[in-house]
Amino acid sequence: MGVIKIRQRQFCRWMSVGVLTCLLLLMLSVVIYRKTQKDYSWLVFGDDGTPEDSCNCDNIIVGDIEEIKHAKLLTITKVFKNQTKMTDEHYIELTQDCERFRVTRKYMPFTLSAEEEAFPLAYSIVVHHKVQNFERLLRSIYAPQNFYCIHVDKKASESTRAAINATVSCFDNVFIASQLEEVVYASWSRVQADINCMKDLYQISDRWKYFINLCGQDFPMKTNLEMVRALKGLHGGNSLETETMPSNKEYRWKKRHIVKNGDIHNTNEAKKPPPSGIKMFSGGAYIVVSRVFIRFVLEDPKAQELILWSKDTYSPDEFLWATMQRIPGVPGYIRAHHKFDRTDMNTISRLIKWVYHEGDFDAVYPPCQGTHVRSICVYGAGDLQWMLQQDHLFANKFDTDFDPIAIRCLEKHLRNKALQAWV
Give catalytic residue positions: 318
Bond into 397 cis (ω within 30) = yes
The partner residues of 239 in beta bridges, in order of sequence, read: 288
Report how far residue 30's alpha carbon sits from residue 257's, in angstroms, rounded to the nearest whole number.
64
Answer for the pair 356, 376: CB distance below 8 angstroms, yes or no: no
Angle between helices 188-204 and 301-310 (to 10 degrees): 150
Q: Strand, helix or coil at 62?
A: coil
Q: How far is CA 406 from CA 19, 55, 133, 352, 416, in A?
A: 50, 10, 12, 15, 16
- Bridge partners of 121, per DSSP, are 210
Distance CA 201, CA 124 (A): 8
Q: Report d(CA 89, CA 91) in Å as an integer.
A: 5
Q: How far apart are CA 227 and CA 51, in angstroms?
A: 30
Helix/strand/coil percent split, the chain, to 5: 50, 15, 35
Residue 347: phi and psi, rounded to 5, are -125, 175
- Which run of H or of E encompasses 212? strand 210-215
DSSP 96: T
- The answer to whether 385 and 58 are in contact (CB under 8 A) is no
Phi (first) and psi of residue 160, to 5 degrees? -60, -50
d(CA 322, CA 342): 9
Q: Give the Cα separation of 47 and 74 in Å (integer).
A: 17
